[in-house]
Structures are given as structure tokens and as C-alpha cells.
């Protein structure tokens, strides 16, 4: 019996395969028992971080696209579409609460001459400086937008016609003090404005037409001035 046992001590007598002690057969797996969960958790962590970055980038892109949809890219003023939406809100509010609402159309004087003499790059800089000044001087609740070219519009809630005129006169005085560096040296520019006050039954077009007529008179009477609706 001893001889038989010794003869088969290195083999599994049932399968005939070499016999290996259980501790030896599984001991090489022990390091993996700890490594695999760590690898899995690491993979999950990296995946979550990547997803967070993708979501953050997506949110930033969405915010930027919304901003581009509402802002004039050259001047930083609101664009026409945004102005139209805000005008409708302010008009409803003014009519419901019986409060005044004024509109001013502003136009840079002789802007074609500025472009001809100084070049379009300097002209663009003049538009940016003008817009920056108007946005800085605007009160909380005022709406400032670019309508195209050198024409801008300013909505003044809770403001009577006389107060709006005085506000615009101060603004145009500040505009005349601006200075732009151009290829031909430093230069200044001026602007004119026409102001109207909301009337019962006004549409946006009828309101704006009265402001536009006032602007035309300001230009006709010498520029660098404010005129109000008659």
C-alpha cells in the first residue's frame, strides 16, 4: 500500500493528472483578486470624469450659442431679434401699468466719411467704442441694440420725453469726447438721435417711425444733436 501510494503520490489517482496542492493551484490568483476591482473602479472613475467634461463643454457651447443668437458680434449690443422680443415685453408692461416708454434712434454722423478717411477697421473700432459707451451709460432696465450699420436703438422704460431728451444730450456729449486711433492718427466722431414716446395704439413700427423722423430732423439741422417727435 505504501508502494502504491508513493507511486501515485505525484498524480491524481482519479484523473491521472499531476496532483497539485490546492494552495499552490490558486495562490497565483490572489494578487488579481485585489487588482481587478481597482482596475474596474479606475475605469469607472475615468469614464465619469470624461462624461463630466463633455457635459461641461456642451453646457458652455450651448451658452455661447445662445449668446451669439442675441448679441451683435462686432459691437456687443443686442441684435434686432433680441430687441424685438424685449420691446414686446416692455410695451406690454408700459400699457398695463400706465408707465411711459421712450425710444431713441441713434446714428453716427458722417460714418461713411470715417470709413473713407480712416478705413473700415478704424470704423469698426468707432462702432465698438460707441456701443461700449452707450451700454455703460445705460440704466438698469434700458435696452440698447444695434439695428445694422451705424444705426442703434435705445429703449428707455419709465422715462418721459423730456427726461429722455436730456439723457440723450448727455450721452451724445460723451460720444463727442471719444477718440479712436486710426491709420491717419487719432480722430473723433459724433452722433445724432431722435426720440419718441409710446402712444396708445402704437405698434413697434409706428413708434419707431416717429423716432426715425426726429432723427432725420436732427441730421438735417446740423447733426450732433437730439431731436424729439413733434
Q: What is the pLDDT of residues 69-104, one digit of tens each?
A: 799 999 999 999 999 999 999 999 999 999 999 999
Cell (9 digits) for 171 = 450721452
Is 155 within 8 Å of 135 (Cβ atoms)? no
Give the pLDDT mean for 124-149. 97
What pTM, to 2 d.p., does this model score? Answer: 0.72
The SS3 call for residue 120 is: helix
What is the b/e burial string over 175-194, where b = at least 16 CB atoms within 10 angstroms of the residue's CB? beebebebeeeeeebebbbb
pLDDT for res 53: 74
Of 38-47, 51-60, 151-160, the range with the lowest mean pLDDT is: 51-60
Q: Of residues 95, 150, 151, 179, which has the active-site annotation?
A: 150
CA distance 225 to 152: 15
List the helix and strand counts (H, then E) for the chain: 8, 7
* 62 has catalytic annotation: no
Amino acid at each position: 500500500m505504501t508502494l502504491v501510494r508513493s507511486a501515485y503520490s505525484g498524480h491524481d489517482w482519479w484523473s491521472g493528472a499531476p496532483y497539485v496542492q490546492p494552495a499552490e493551484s490558486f495562490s497565483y490568483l490572489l494578487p488579481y483578486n485585489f487588482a481587478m476591482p481597482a482596475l474596474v473602479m479606475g475605469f469607472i472613475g475615468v469614464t465619469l470624469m470624461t462624461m463630466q467634461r463633455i457635459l461641461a463643454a456642451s453646457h458652455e457651447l450651448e451658452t455661447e450659442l445662445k449668446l451669439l443668437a442675441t448679441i451683435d458680434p462686432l459691437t456687443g449690443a443686442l441684435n434686432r431679434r433680441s430687441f424685438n422680443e424685449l420691446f414686446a415685453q416692455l410695451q406690454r408692461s408700459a400699457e398695463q401699468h400706465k408707465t411711459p416708454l421712450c425710444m431713441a434712434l441713434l446714428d453716427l454722423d458722417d460714418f461713411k466719411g470715417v470709413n473713407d478717411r480712416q478705413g473700415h477697421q478704424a470704423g469698426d473700432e468707432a462702432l465698438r467704442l460707441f456701443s461700449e459707451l452707450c451700454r455703460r451709460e445705460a440704466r438698469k432696465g434700458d435696452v440698447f441694440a444695434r439695428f445694422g450699420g451705424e444705426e442703434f436703438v435705445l429703449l428707455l422704460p419709465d422715462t418721459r420725453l423730456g427726461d429722455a431728451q436730456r439723457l440723450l444730450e448727455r450721452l451724445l456729449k460723451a460720444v463727442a469726447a471719444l477718440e479712436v486711433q486710426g491709420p491717419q492718427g487719432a480722430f473723433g466722431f459724433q452722433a445724432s438721435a431722435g426720440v419718441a414716446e409710446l402712444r396708445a395704439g402704437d405698434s413697434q413700427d409706428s413708434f419707431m417711425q416717429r423716432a426715425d423722423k426726429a432723427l432725420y430732423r436732427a441730421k438735417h439741422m446740423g447733426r450732433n444733436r437730439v431731436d424729439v417727435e413733434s
